[in-house]
Amino acid sequence: MASVALSEAEKVYIVHGVQEDLRVDGRSCEDYRCMEVETDVVSNTSGSARVKLGHTDILVGVKAEMGTPKLEKPNEGYLEFFVDCSANATPEFEGRGGDDLGAEIANTLYGIFNNKSSVDLRSLCISPREHCWILYVDVLLLECGGNLFDAISIAVKAALFNTRIPKVRVLEDEEGSKDIELFDDPYDCIRLSVDNVPCIVTLCKIGYRHVVDATLQEEACSLASLLVSVTSMGVVTCMRKVGKGSLDPESIFEMMETGKRVGKVLHASLQSVLHKEESLGPKRQKVGFLG
Protein backbone atom coordinates (compact mmCIF):
# COMPACT_ATOMS: atom_id res chain seq x y z
CA MET A 1 0.00 0.00 0.00
CA ALA A 2 1.25 3.50 -0.83
CA SER A 3 2.30 5.35 2.31
CA VAL A 4 3.65 8.73 3.37
CA ALA A 5 6.03 9.66 6.22
CA LEU A 6 4.71 12.17 8.76
CA SER A 7 6.35 13.80 11.75
CA GLU A 8 4.80 13.38 15.21
CA ALA A 9 3.68 17.03 15.15
CA GLU A 10 1.83 16.49 11.84
CA LYS A 11 0.12 13.38 13.21
CA VAL A 12 -0.99 15.22 16.37
CA TYR A 13 -2.37 18.07 14.20
CA ILE A 14 -4.39 15.64 12.03
CA VAL A 15 -5.68 13.58 15.00
CA HIS A 16 -6.76 16.66 16.96
CA GLY A 17 -8.53 18.08 13.91
CA VAL A 18 -10.46 14.82 13.39
CA GLN A 19 -11.62 14.87 17.04
CA GLU A 20 -13.10 18.35 16.31
CA ASP A 21 -14.76 17.06 13.07
CA LEU A 22 -12.50 19.32 11.00
CA ARG A 23 -9.98 17.67 8.70
CA VAL A 24 -6.88 19.26 7.16
CA ASP A 25 -8.64 19.89 3.81
CA GLY A 26 -11.74 21.37 5.48
CA ARG A 27 -13.98 18.31 5.21
CA SER A 28 -16.01 16.83 8.05
CA CYS A 29 -15.49 13.19 9.07
CA GLU A 30 -18.22 11.90 6.72
CA ASP A 31 -17.35 13.91 3.59
CA TYR A 32 -15.82 12.52 0.40
CA ARG A 33 -13.40 14.50 -1.72
CA CYS A 34 -14.56 15.75 -5.12
CA MET A 35 -14.83 12.76 -7.45
CA GLU A 36 -14.56 12.57 -11.25
CA VAL A 37 -16.25 9.65 -13.02
CA GLU A 38 -16.12 8.99 -16.75
CA THR A 39 -17.29 5.88 -18.62
CA ASP A 40 -16.48 4.48 -22.07
CA VAL A 41 -12.87 5.67 -21.98
CA VAL A 42 -11.20 2.58 -23.55
CA SER A 43 -12.40 1.71 -27.04
CA ASN A 44 -11.45 -1.99 -27.28
CA THR A 45 -13.41 -3.11 -24.20
CA SER A 46 -17.03 -4.12 -23.56
CA GLY A 47 -17.19 -1.43 -20.88
CA SER A 48 -14.78 0.88 -19.09
CA ALA A 49 -14.61 3.64 -16.52
CA ARG A 50 -12.11 5.99 -14.98
CA VAL A 51 -12.48 7.39 -11.46
CA LYS A 52 -10.38 10.14 -9.95
CA LEU A 53 -10.80 10.68 -6.21
CA GLY A 54 -8.41 13.35 -4.94
CA HIS A 55 -5.00 12.07 -6.06
CA THR A 56 -6.25 8.49 -6.49
CA ASP A 57 -6.70 7.60 -10.17
CA ILE A 58 -8.27 4.28 -11.24
CA LEU A 59 -8.98 2.83 -14.69
CA VAL A 60 -11.22 -0.23 -15.11
CA GLY A 61 -11.87 -2.17 -18.30
CA VAL A 62 -14.39 -5.01 -18.71
CA LYS A 63 -13.99 -7.56 -21.50
CA ALA A 64 -16.77 -10.07 -22.24
CA GLU A 65 -15.56 -13.39 -23.65
CA MET A 66 -17.34 -16.67 -24.25
CA GLY A 67 -16.39 -19.62 -22.08
CA THR A 68 -17.68 -22.68 -20.22
CA PRO A 69 -19.72 -22.34 -17.00
CA LYS A 70 -18.22 -23.60 -13.75
CA LEU A 71 -19.23 -27.16 -12.82
CA GLU A 72 -20.83 -26.09 -9.55
CA LYS A 73 -22.82 -23.30 -11.27
CA PRO A 74 -23.81 -24.65 -14.71
CA ASN A 75 -26.52 -22.01 -15.30
CA GLU A 76 -24.39 -18.94 -14.60
CA GLY A 77 -21.60 -16.89 -16.09
CA TYR A 78 -18.96 -15.38 -13.84
CA LEU A 79 -16.55 -12.50 -13.28
CA GLU A 80 -12.76 -12.66 -13.12
CA PHE A 81 -10.76 -9.83 -11.51
CA PHE A 82 -7.19 -8.77 -12.23
CA VAL A 83 -5.56 -5.79 -10.51
CA ASP A 84 -2.40 -4.16 -11.88
CA CYS A 85 -0.57 -1.77 -9.57
CA SER A 86 1.32 0.49 -11.98
CA ALA A 87 4.84 1.50 -10.91
CA ASN A 88 3.88 5.04 -11.99
CA ALA A 89 1.34 5.15 -9.15
CA THR A 90 4.02 4.98 -6.45
CA PRO A 91 7.70 3.87 -6.41
CA GLU A 92 6.70 1.19 -3.88
CA PHE A 93 5.05 -0.77 -6.73
CA GLU A 94 8.28 -1.16 -8.73
CA GLY A 95 9.23 -4.74 -9.60
CA ARG A 96 6.82 -7.04 -7.79
CA GLY A 97 6.08 -4.47 -5.09
CA GLY A 98 2.40 -4.12 -6.01
CA ASP A 99 1.63 -7.84 -6.42
CA ASP A 100 0.49 -8.41 -2.83
CA LEU A 101 -1.76 -5.36 -2.86
CA GLY A 102 -3.17 -6.37 -6.27
CA ALA A 103 -4.01 -9.85 -4.97
CA GLU A 104 -5.59 -8.36 -1.81
CA ILE A 105 -7.81 -6.00 -3.85
CA ALA A 106 -8.81 -8.80 -6.27
CA ASN A 107 -9.74 -11.11 -3.36
CA THR A 108 -11.82 -8.31 -1.82
CA LEU A 109 -13.69 -7.83 -5.12
CA TYR A 110 -14.30 -11.59 -5.37
CA GLY A 111 -15.73 -11.46 -1.83
CA ILE A 112 -18.13 -8.66 -2.81
CA PHE A 113 -19.34 -10.30 -6.03
CA ASN A 114 -19.45 -13.88 -4.72
CA ASN A 115 -23.21 -13.78 -4.17
CA LYS A 116 -26.31 -13.94 -6.35
CA SER A 117 -27.65 -10.53 -5.38
CA SER A 118 -24.79 -8.31 -6.69
CA VAL A 119 -25.00 -9.16 -10.41
CA ASP A 120 -27.52 -11.39 -12.20
CA LEU A 121 -25.04 -14.06 -13.26
CA ARG A 122 -27.83 -16.16 -14.81
CA SER A 123 -28.24 -13.51 -17.50
CA LEU A 124 -24.64 -14.30 -18.55
CA CYS A 125 -25.51 -17.95 -19.31
CA ILE A 126 -25.95 -18.74 -23.01
CA SER A 127 -26.40 -22.51 -22.91
CA PRO A 128 -26.39 -24.34 -19.52
CA ARG A 129 -23.23 -26.42 -18.90
CA GLU A 130 -21.85 -25.45 -22.32
CA HIS A 131 -21.54 -21.72 -22.99
CA CYS A 132 -21.59 -18.57 -20.90
CA TRP A 133 -20.17 -15.06 -20.84
CA ILE A 134 -17.12 -14.49 -18.67
CA LEU A 135 -16.52 -10.88 -17.68
CA TYR A 136 -12.82 -10.14 -17.25
CA VAL A 137 -12.56 -7.04 -15.05
CA ASP A 138 -9.11 -5.43 -15.29
CA VAL A 139 -8.28 -2.75 -12.72
CA LEU A 140 -5.30 -0.45 -13.27
CA LEU A 141 -4.02 1.78 -10.47
CA LEU A 142 -2.66 4.90 -12.17
CA GLU A 143 -2.12 6.99 -9.04
CA CYS A 144 -2.47 6.33 -5.29
CA GLY A 145 -3.65 9.15 -3.08
CA GLY A 146 -5.48 7.23 -0.34
CA ASN A 147 -8.78 5.36 -0.15
CA LEU A 148 -8.01 2.84 -2.90
CA PHE A 149 -10.76 0.32 -2.13
CA ASP A 150 -13.61 2.85 -2.36
CA ALA A 151 -12.34 4.33 -5.64
CA ILE A 152 -11.86 0.88 -7.19
CA SER A 153 -15.34 -0.35 -6.19
CA ILE A 154 -16.90 2.82 -7.67
CA ALA A 155 -14.89 2.39 -10.90
CA VAL A 156 -15.91 -1.29 -11.17
CA LYS A 157 -19.59 -0.41 -10.72
CA ALA A 158 -19.35 2.38 -13.34
CA ALA A 159 -17.56 0.05 -15.80
CA LEU A 160 -20.19 -2.69 -15.34
CA PHE A 161 -22.92 -0.07 -15.91
CA ASN A 162 -21.16 0.84 -19.17
CA THR A 163 -20.70 -2.81 -20.24
CA ARG A 164 -22.53 -4.00 -23.33
CA ILE A 165 -22.60 -7.73 -24.08
CA PRO A 166 -23.50 -8.89 -27.62
CA LYS A 167 -26.78 -10.77 -27.97
CA VAL A 168 -26.38 -14.32 -29.28
CA ARG A 169 -28.66 -17.22 -30.16
CA VAL A 170 -27.99 -20.96 -30.00
CA LEU A 171 -28.73 -22.87 -33.22
CA GLU A 172 -29.06 -26.66 -33.07
CA ASP A 173 -28.87 -28.83 -36.20
CA GLU A 174 -30.49 -32.23 -36.80
CA GLU A 175 -27.51 -34.08 -35.36
CA GLY A 176 -27.75 -32.17 -32.08
CA SER A 177 -24.59 -30.09 -32.45
CA LYS A 178 -24.94 -26.46 -31.38
CA ASP A 179 -23.67 -23.29 -33.00
CA ILE A 180 -23.55 -19.81 -31.48
CA GLU A 181 -24.67 -16.99 -33.76
CA LEU A 182 -24.26 -13.29 -33.06
CA PHE A 183 -27.18 -10.95 -33.76
CA ASP A 184 -26.71 -8.80 -36.86
CA ASP A 185 -27.29 -5.50 -35.06
CA PRO A 186 -24.11 -4.58 -33.10
CA TYR A 187 -26.17 -2.17 -30.97
CA ASP A 188 -28.57 -4.94 -29.88
CA CYS A 189 -26.83 -5.75 -26.59
CA ILE A 190 -27.43 -7.08 -23.10
CA ARG A 191 -27.00 -4.51 -20.32
CA LEU A 192 -26.22 -5.59 -16.78
CA SER A 193 -28.33 -4.24 -13.94
CA VAL A 194 -25.96 -2.65 -11.42
CA ASP A 195 -28.69 -1.53 -8.98
CA ASN A 196 -27.57 -4.11 -6.41
CA VAL A 197 -23.82 -3.85 -7.05
CA PRO A 198 -22.31 -2.69 -3.75
CA CYS A 199 -19.66 -0.03 -3.21
CA ILE A 200 -16.99 -0.17 -0.53
CA VAL A 201 -16.94 2.49 2.16
CA THR A 202 -13.64 2.48 4.06
CA LEU A 203 -13.77 3.89 7.58
CA CYS A 204 -10.41 4.77 9.16
CA LYS A 205 -10.24 4.92 12.93
CA ILE A 206 -8.25 8.01 13.94
CA GLY A 207 -8.09 8.65 17.67
CA TYR A 208 -11.60 8.19 19.09
CA ARG A 209 -13.37 8.95 15.82
CA HIS A 210 -13.53 7.49 12.31
CA VAL A 211 -13.39 9.17 8.89
CA VAL A 212 -14.44 8.21 5.36
CA ASP A 213 -12.31 8.77 2.24
CA ALA A 214 -9.03 9.14 4.13
CA THR A 215 -6.05 10.79 2.43
CA LEU A 216 -2.60 9.19 2.57
CA GLN A 217 -1.72 11.50 5.46
CA GLU A 218 -4.82 10.43 7.41
CA GLU A 219 -4.16 6.76 6.66
CA ALA A 220 -0.69 7.21 8.21
CA CYS A 221 -2.42 8.28 11.47
CA SER A 222 -4.75 5.25 11.53
CA LEU A 223 -3.90 1.82 12.91
CA ALA A 224 -7.14 0.10 11.91
CA SER A 225 -9.76 0.50 9.21
CA LEU A 226 -13.05 -1.20 8.41
CA LEU A 227 -14.06 -1.94 4.81
CA VAL A 228 -17.85 -2.04 4.57
CA SER A 229 -19.50 -3.22 1.34
CA VAL A 230 -22.87 -1.42 1.09
CA THR A 231 -25.69 -1.64 -1.47
CA SER A 232 -27.80 1.30 -2.63
CA MET A 233 -30.45 0.24 -0.08
CA GLY A 234 -27.93 0.51 2.77
CA VAL A 235 -27.54 -3.27 3.19
CA VAL A 236 -24.10 -4.47 4.32
CA THR A 237 -23.01 -7.44 2.18
CA CYS A 238 -19.41 -7.83 3.31
CA MET A 239 -17.12 -6.45 5.98
CA ARG A 240 -13.38 -6.66 6.58
CA LYS A 241 -10.94 -5.16 9.03
CA VAL A 242 -7.51 -4.05 7.80
CA GLY A 243 -4.52 -2.67 9.64
CA LYS A 244 -2.46 -3.75 12.64
CA GLY A 245 -4.62 -2.10 15.30
CA SER A 246 -7.75 -3.43 17.00
CA LEU A 247 -11.36 -2.23 17.02
CA ASP A 248 -13.74 -2.63 19.93
CA PRO A 249 -17.31 -3.90 19.24
CA GLU A 250 -18.89 -0.50 19.92
CA SER A 251 -16.59 1.18 17.36
CA ILE A 252 -17.36 -1.49 14.77
CA PHE A 253 -21.12 -0.95 15.23
CA GLU A 254 -20.74 2.83 14.89
CA MET A 255 -18.54 2.44 11.80
CA MET A 256 -21.08 0.08 10.19
CA GLU A 257 -23.89 2.58 10.77
CA THR A 258 -21.77 5.38 9.28
CA GLY A 259 -20.87 3.13 6.33
CA LYS A 260 -24.55 2.40 5.62
CA ARG A 261 -25.52 6.07 5.87
CA VAL A 262 -22.65 7.33 3.70
CA GLY A 263 -22.97 4.40 1.26
CA LYS A 264 -26.59 5.21 0.40
CA VAL A 265 -25.67 8.81 -0.45
CA LEU A 266 -22.64 7.63 -2.47
CA HIS A 267 -24.78 5.23 -4.54
CA ALA A 268 -27.42 7.87 -5.22
CA SER A 269 -24.80 10.38 -6.41
CA LEU A 270 -23.04 7.79 -8.60
CA GLN A 271 -26.25 6.55 -10.21
CA SER A 272 -27.31 10.14 -10.93
CA VAL A 273 -23.97 10.93 -12.61
CA LEU A 274 -23.96 7.71 -14.66
CA HIS A 275 -27.51 8.22 -15.97
CA LYS A 276 -26.85 11.89 -16.67
CA GLU A 277 -23.69 11.06 -18.64
CA GLU A 278 -25.49 8.35 -20.63
CA SER A 279 -28.38 10.70 -21.46
CA LEU A 280 -25.92 12.99 -23.28
CA GLY A 281 -25.31 10.19 -25.80
CA PRO A 282 -22.61 10.56 -28.48
CA LYS A 283 -22.67 14.36 -28.07
CA ARG A 284 -20.91 14.27 -24.72
CA GLN A 285 -17.37 15.56 -24.60
CA LYS A 286 -14.90 12.83 -23.68
CA VAL A 287 -11.95 13.61 -21.44
CA GLY A 288 -10.27 10.17 -21.53
CA PHE A 289 -8.13 8.61 -18.81
CA LEU A 290 -5.11 10.68 -19.87
CA GLY A 291 -7.10 13.91 -19.62
Can you give the residue ranges of every domain in the chain? 8-280
> Running DSSP on this structure, what letter comes out for residue 256?
H
pLDDT in tens, 160-175: 999 999 888 888 776 7
pLDDT in tens, 105-123: 999 999 888 777 888 889 8
Model confidence at 187, pLDDT cuts 50, 70, 90, reads: confident
Determine whether domain 8-280 maps to CATH 1.20.960.40: no
**Contact 227/190 with Cβ under 8 angstroms?**
no
Residue 279: its pLDDT value, please? 84
Q: Is 171 exposed, middle or buried (0-12, 13-18, 19+ CB in 10 A)?
A: exposed
**CA angle at residue 55 from 47 to 279, to 5 degrees?**
35
Q: Is 67 exposed, middle or buried (0-12, 13-18, 19+ CB in 10 A)?
A: middle
Q: Which of 152, 160, 161 is nearest to 52 (CA)?
A: 152
Helix (H) or strand (E) holding 153: helix 148-162
Alpha-carbon span 266 to 154, nearest angstrom = 9
pLDDT in tens, 211-226: 999 998 999 999 899 9
